[in-house]
Chain A
């Protein structure tokens, strides 16, 4: 009972903090002194005044849905809040297999996101001072710089092996499966070379498919992820299912290698997985990095309505950092709404998978 009372109190405190953060973010992004040209222009078309009418997180429902197509094309500096103009700026891309990719300008957010995420990693599995292997897509995505910063923040050095998912999608669409295999083997060759080069790598970021490929290559060579020296893996970037999680823990890695699922993107930052509990049957529940980003599981037909706990809905994302304001965007994912957890005392989402209405037309899981 005490635990539940504590959790209820934590949930309440976090909700108050979220409401305060919402007010502060809206003031920042819609103030003529600090806001971005994009939002200041948009606000002229609203039938409410964000500066006076948004006083809590619920009030974000007053904004129309954010359409991610708005992120395609330039000028990208329309997104930079006036207060941050002149700072060194990155552009990270998302999508891009067809047409103009979506771009997001970033100054420090990726560093802050990954520093926050670092605090959730257990030191025994991700020892401070040890080196990292980043095995996955690098630029123009943010992953390479983000993981590199994570490693540096934890006093390590990141070694990077790149993979271009856009090229893989093209090969798959053309049915060039042999070339996909060759390319995958080429990527794994490089990872094997780095792991065998005495760099004292103990931590890794990779995607489910690449982890599978690397683990099996090591097994084929009479070794394993554990024998290669890896103690901790954070894994994400493509669909990460409960069944795959179990397979990874039971068959790919063994009990001495820690793996944590993550769910993230260029707009949100990095959601953390609920700590592994065998009683949960490998269920994966994610919690967004509140209050910088918030995810809600909403009704398929009414995005302003949150579904009940355990019910299925579409993932709706809100981002409220100094650099970016997204007052509600429907992700291309669906899942089940989950109750708060002591470590993350706010709503979570489990069973994240491609939104069923668009899943059939999407080539997923290429890297």
Chain B
């Protein structure tokens, strides 16, 4: 069987503790993943600076080339994986088998990752606002306009506590190595595939092995990574987000509560935006935090809900190899059932109606022997206080909320992506000023249409580097 060791600064380590990753439908063992213990991580973190030192010996321009090569290797090569090898096709197959994502979605996520790596130069140019990258290496330098700039790395490595269910999020850590910061990866238990394949692609492309550690393991390994790395990106539910709120060392990624707001000036033409709403809710199986979890409109909300429901309501599970499989499975026992129960409770509140029920044959929850599915669900909320007006689940589920435009910004709550379709200049300005919206689209743009030249969920450059004052000559008199 495939055996995957811990990677301690690139060095394989075979642990006595191993965990099997199994096929979610058949229970067939797919691989044995060796498990780190927290002490190993603590021991290794004492050498974290070495990762950054080695990366600083490679010019950023060279690292950008390495990223391009890594993208190509990731997409096309047969790469080593533990005691075996893996082609891209095998990668998609095994990722689908353990996460419940249809294979075509896994392939789509590969393309996203490759796109980011191939376009890293433009992405970093954009994220750093045009900073000459050697300033990150040396710590200081002058821009073309003659201004002295200094950036200090907040940490020699970035720790990542990665999820099990959403391969798309791995795009977020791709820019780290070319910024000359090492990687400490704690993969999710069902999705070790992307971290290992990406690590091997980086190694083969020329990143020194000592710059990346991969520590599969139990929860205390994740908490040790979080505790010891001075900068950490982690993924979890709302409880996790709340736990790390205000901790400058941790960038916590959770539910997005992404939304589409229809302005009063366009809402009578809502049918023009139906495709946009459906895609925002439904693409990638509705699993991403950038999928819309609600649509807000001051009128026509029932008709909007009905139209969306009519489009996506009939969708149901098919084979993982179906090139158009619309839904991802829930592989964790009880998760889908629990969500279904919460939705049913939410539906019992006044003014809340499920619209999809009439368009599908059968129940929302489909329980199979080893996995479950939740079929698309559109809920109409006649008021903004309903629990389901602002709830997010990992499947195509959204509420259509009736709300006056002037109330929307007060009521929507924290929002990762907000697509506001409007030409109302005054409202647009209020949207621009709204600090509870992270990524703002004004105009007909899908919530899940990412522009990688824009900051993503907190600018990674600002997270990893501190802009500061630096002088190596006395300032001019003034």
Q: Which residues of A contact B (CB under 8 A)?
A: 175, 177, 181, 212, 216, 219-220, 241-244, 246-248, 251-252, 281-282, 365
Are A241 and B17 within 8 A (Cβ)? yes
| Chain A residues whose CB sits within 8 angstroms of the CB of B223 once the complex forms | 177
- The answer to whether residues A244 and B227 also contact, given A175-B243, A282-B16 and a CB cut-off of 8 A, is no
Are A220 and B46 within 8 A (Cβ)? yes
- The answer to whether residues A243 and B16 also contact, given A212-B39, A252-B39 and a CB cut-off of 8 A, is yes
- The answer to whether residues A247 and B40 also contact, given A175-B243, A181-B227 and a CB cut-off of 8 A, is yes
Q: Is residue B294 within 8 Å, beta carbon to beta carbon, of the partner chain?
A: no
Contacts A212-B39, A242-B17, A281-B16 known; 8 new A-B pairs at CB < 8 A: A216-B46, A219-B46, A220-B46, A241-B16, A241-B17, A248-B39, A251-B39, A252-B43
Minimum CB–CB distance for B18 against chain A, Å = 10
CA–CA, A243 and B13, complex, Å: 12
Are A365 and B220 within 8 A (Cβ)? yes
Q: Which of B15, B227, B243, B244 contacts A243 (CB 8 A)?
A: B15
CA–CA, A220 and B46, complex, Å: 8
CA–CA, A219 and B46, complex, Å: 10
Q: Which of A177, A212, A246 contacts B16 (CB 8 A)?
A: A246
Are A244 and B220 within 8 A (Cβ)? no
In the complex, 27 of the A-B residue pairs with CB atoms within 8 angstroms, ordered by the A residue number, are A175-B243, A177-B223, A177-B226, A181-B227, A212-B39, A212-B42, A216-B42, A216-B43, A216-B46, A219-B46, A241-B16, A241-B17, A241-B37, A242-B16, A243-B37, A244-B39, A246-B16, A247-B37, A247-B39, A247-B40, A251-B39, A251-B40, A251-B43, A252-B39, A252-B43, A281-B16, A282-B16
Are A243 and B42 within 8 A (Cβ)? no
| Chain A residues whose CB sits within 8 angstroms of the CB of B243 once the complex forms | 175
Are B46 and A243 within 8 A (Cβ)? no
| Chain A residues whose CB sits within 8 angstroms of the CB of B39 once the complex forms | 212, 244, 247-248, 251-252
| Chain A residues whose CB sits within 8 angstroms of the CB of B99 once the complex forms | none
| Majority secondary structure, B binding face | helix
Q: Is residue B384 within 8 Å, beta carbon to beta carbon, of the partner chain?
A: no
Chain B 34-66 residues near chain A, CB threshold 8 A = 35, 37-40, 42-43, 46
Q: Interface size of B by Cβ–Cβ distance < 8 Å?
A: 17
Minimum CB–CB distance for B217 against chain A, Å = 10
CA–CA, A219 and B42, complex, Å: 12
Chain B 170-225 residues near chain A, CB threshold 8 A = 220, 223
Q: Which residues of B contact A (CB under 8 A)?
A: 15-17, 35, 37-40, 42-43, 46, 220, 223, 226-227, 243-244
- The answer to whether residues A243 and B17 also contact, given A175-B243, A177-B227, A365-B220 and a CB cut-off of 8 A, is yes
Minimum CB–CB distance for B405 against chain A, Å = 38
| Chain B residues whose CB sits within 8 angstroms of the CB of A177 once the complex forms | 223, 226-227
- Least CB separation from B35: chain A residue: A243
| Chain A residues whose CB sits within 8 angstroms of the CB of B43 once the complex forms | 216, 247, 251-252
CA–CA, A138 and B16, complex, Å: 32
Are B46 and A244 within 8 A (Cβ)? no
| Chain A residues whose CB sits within 8 angstroms of the CB of B244 once the complex forms | 175
| Chain A residues whose CB sits within 8 angstroms of the CB of B40 once the complex forms | 247, 251
- Least CB separation from B223: chain A residue: A177
| Chain B residues whose CB sits within 8 angstroms of the CB of A251 once the complex forms | 39-40, 43
Minimum CB–CB distance for A144 against chain B, Å = 25
CA–CA, A252 and B15, complex, Å: 16
| Chain B residues whose CB sits within 8 angstroms of the CB of A175 once the complex forms | 243-244
CA–CA, A212 and B15, complex, Å: 18
Minimum CB–CB distance for B220 against chain A, Å = 7
| Chain A residues whose CB sits within 8 angstroms of the CB of B220 once the complex forms | 365
Q: Which residue, of B39, B43, B227, has the highest number of chain A Cβ atoms within 10 A?
A: B39
CA–CA, A216 and B42, complex, Å: 8
CA–CA, A282 and B37, complex, Å: 15
Minimum CB–CB distance for B105 against chain A, Å = 30
| Chain B residues whose CB sits within 8 angstroms of the CB of A181 once the complex forms | 227
CA–CA, A156 and B411, complex, Å: 69
Are B42 and A244 within 8 A (Cβ)? no
CA–CA, A244 and B35, complex, Å: 11
Minimum CB–CB distance for B218 against chain A, Å = 10
